[in-house]
Structure 1
């Protein structure tokens, strides 16, 4: 279920009452709301485990730039989501995170309509920072379309 209004998102209190891994699993199993941006950009959470998440998505014509190629923001948003949500799986109950910075390297043009898997993996999760990397690959052939890295700030509620 995609949230369609702010009232459908979890309250801060409810989000802080579970670990980040529990929060991410709730989104995956449908007991928590899927982020509204995922509907807009045509992607969804596909897999969650501690330190790793995978999103599945397909760019549409609506995600192209004036040249007709998939906009770099589509790559960036999926990588930011996967990498930061991977960090979230390592955030303890009573804490939350925010992205401090992320970097994206596009390795090749992603044709419109190509289904992808976007994986985020944690390399470090401490008390105050989390670091993760990501890869955006073709679901059918495993071709690498983009990579990324991120640093997230972990804060107590």
Structure 2
């Protein structure tokens, strides 16, 4: 995973005014390119966006020891965090300037354990982006072997103005 610009303080994150001044796709692409700082949760949990196009965002992640549970496997919360991120960001890419979003609910289905240190891709695809809600799905797969580790779905509330 390449080094991305990560915010080290609230002042380095885009302001609410800046977030609302550009279309969601432009904002996501600027984070992927490193022009704008990404949120610190990505560094904390070991994942970051690596691709963004309208209605589709890919996150790359490497679960490390810090996200292991007592059974020595990746904690289910890590699956949820990376899938929630890619799915919600896929919704973000469909929004015009002046609109935002928040996750209303999401669901994940874990199909197998991710070995610690394995590089994965989480792909989020917006299925619907309406006036007040949006729906997206996601898949978490091994980057090299393509194994399916989890699937997800989300409903987001669209915030305007």
Q: TM-score, normalised by structure 2?
A: 0.96
- Match of residue 154 from structure 1: 158
Deviations 1:29-83 (A, max 9, x none): 1111111000001111110000000000110011101111100000000000000
Q: Map 1:104-115 to 2 at 5 A.
A: 104-115=108-119
Q: 2:131 aligns with which of 114, 127, 133?
A: 127
* Moved >6 Å (runs of 4+): none
The answer to whether 1:70 aligns with 2:74 is yes
Number of residue-to-residue matches in the alignment:
157
Task: Give the secondary structure class of the aligned counterpart of 2:144.
Answer: coil
In angstroms, what is the RMSD of aligned CA positions? 0.6
Which structure 2 residues correspond to residues 1-157 of structure 1 after superposition, within 5 A? 1-157=5-161
Shift of 1:92: 1.0
TM-score by length of 1: 0.98
